[in-house]
Amino acid sequence: MEKRDFSKSGPRINRKANAGKNTSKPRQRFFNKNADKKTMHDRPFKDTTVKRLGFSPFQIRLIQSILSSVLVDGKPLDKAYAYWFAKVKIQALEQGFLIKQINAMFRRLSFYAIVCCLKRPSDLSRHINWLILAYCAEQEWPLPDIDAEGFDRAGLKERIKIAKEDELLNEGCPVWLNELCTKELSDKWPQERKALAKEPSRYIRANALKTTRENLGHVLSEEGVVTRPVKGVYSALEVTSNAALFRTAAFKEGLFEQQDAGSQLIPPFLDAQPGMRVIDACAGSGGKTLQLAAIMENKGVIIALDTEGWKLDDLKKRSRRAGAFNIETRVIDSTKVIKRLYDHADRVLIDAPCSGLGVLRRTPDSKWRDLRPRIIELKKIQQDILSRYSQMVKVGGIVVYSTCSILPSENELQVKEFIANSNGAFELLEDKTLYPSEGFDGFYMAKIIRKA
């Protein structure tokens, strides 16, 4: 794991109490990876997530294992969830409760490092139990009886109070991110920083090939899922209950996909019509591809491209469930794949690889490594993709360039450079940025017409 820094202007806290000998074992496995799965899967479950304040001993062990996978082994948080929740079967309500708490820890990892009298978030890899204690203390839950030698329990409340007075710590913002976004967003950054520190809302998209948003709301209500329509996004419902969405009959029947409401605004921006030939050039697992199929009423052709074949395999499974039958998939395994499609499409969507800074609420572990060197490389990739993939649209056709970033250097400045270098062949028609402070995740989209 890379060294991670946090607010250099953070509060000074007495670390003398942290002089105890460190006896923690970073690579300790709280659940044995080779343990008998049946023993863990068949654990009787009682719904105590609401009745009890804090974590049960079983939940503590599972949380320790997930935190170890991320902080010690360096796995992405979503991969750690996938691994441990496949290995340790628990009911959906309990799983949702644990994900909510662990995400909250990662959203403010620098805050909890300070509360633990540590210098940086990465130091928590050696003190996972300290992190759990600090989190429980801030929630005003009883402190669990776990091994945490050297942890200063006596001064917890005071350290929490002091840490909350520091904006960067309280909002879980590392120094590198604050420096980068202050430079790019100037006075707009503080409100976006505050928005990115909040827990994200849950949104789903009604699959218009099989249902309407109103009907989907009724169907989900009968399954105990509480939703409400999202103003300004005709296909979106916000899920307001702690529901196991992927275990519902509605999901298995392909009536909806989980997708942020802001993301749902990008495919309609392409203005694809039934019968057109459309290319989704960076399709991934196909969330926007499936929405385009619904917009086009399964008429015409959508060619979904990606460099990762396994993502397109996932798209095939999702398209079968969704009833989307006008999608072709092609792996980009050479430049010839793109060149063969030059002047081929009426519409091209380029959902470019980016920093993902607009969706940090959903990937809270990603901000604890300095992404600035990676962003430099990404901007080169974005410009290359935009210049080459845009050639796949016919003269008179539309290209939409989109990202899930809020940085101008990845967004409007990239489009400006592309237009300037096109010698009049392309013209910007419209662009917009969706900021996290407006309620959804952060996205950018630019509509470009090919003139020659």
Number of domains in the chain: 3
**pLDDT tens per residue across span 313-344:** 999 999 999 999 999 999 999 999 999 999 99
Using a 10 angstrom Cβ sphere, with 0-12 exposed, 13-18 middle and 19 or more buried, the burial of residue 362 is middle
Same domain, 250 and 267: no
Are 369 and 426 within one domain? yes
Domain boundary among 241, 258, 275: 258
Residues 299 and 425 both lie in one domain: yes
Residue 32's pLDDT is what? 57
CATH number assigned to the domain comprising residue 387: 3.40.50.150
What's CA 95's distance to the chain center, in Å? 18
User: Does any domain span residue 303?
Assistant: yes
Which amino acid would we find at residue 179? Answer: E
Is residue 243 located within the same domain as residue 278? no
Same domain (yes/no): 146, 39: yes
Q: State the average pLDDT over residues 196-223.
A: 97
Domain identity same for 348 and 422 = yes
Tell whether 351 is in a known binding site: yes
The residue segments making up the domain with residue 94 are 16-172
How big is the chain, counted in residues? 452
Mean pLDDT across the stretch 35-44? 41
Are 367 and 416 within 8 A, CB to CB? no
Strand partners, 277: 301
User: Of the candidates 429, 384, 375, which has an alpha carbon nearest to the alpha carbon of residue 406?
Assistant: 375
Predicted local confidence at residue 31, as pLDDT: 62
15-19, 275-279, 370-374, 397-401: which has the minimum mean pLDDT? 15-19
Rounded average pLDDT over 341-363: 97
Same domain, 164 and 237: no
> If you average pLDDT over residues 194-205, what whole number do you get?
97
Shared domain for 136 and 216, answered yes or no, is: no
Per-range mean pLDDT, top range of 49-63, 87-101, 199-213: 199-213
Q: Is residue 250 located within the same domain as residue 226?
A: yes
Verify that 382 and 323 share a domain, yes or no.
yes
Return mean pLDDT, the chain. Answer: 91
pTM of the model: 0.88
Give pLDDT, residue 33.
52
Task: State the pLDDT confidence band at 93, using cuts at 50, 70 and 90.
Answer: confident
Is 333 among the annotated ligand-binding positions?
A: yes
Residues catalogued as catalytic: 404
Q: Read off the pLDDT of residues 7-36 as tens digits, 9 standing for 90 and up.
A: 343 444 444 444 444 434 444 456 655 444
3-state secondary structure of 131: helix
The per-residue pLDDT for 27 is: 43
Taking CA atoms, 241 is separated from 6, 89, 230, 279, in Å, by: 34, 21, 15, 36
Please state, in angstroms and as integers, the Cα–Cα distance from residue 44 to each residue in 5, 38, 40, following that order: 42, 12, 9
Neighbouring C-beta atoms of residue 229, cutoff 10 Å? 15
Do 341 and 218 belong to one domain?
Answer: no
Q: What is the pLDDT of residue 243?
A: 83
Task: Give per-residue pLDDT as tens, 124-177.
Answer: 999 999 999 999 999 999 999 999 999 999 889 999 999 999 999 999 999 999
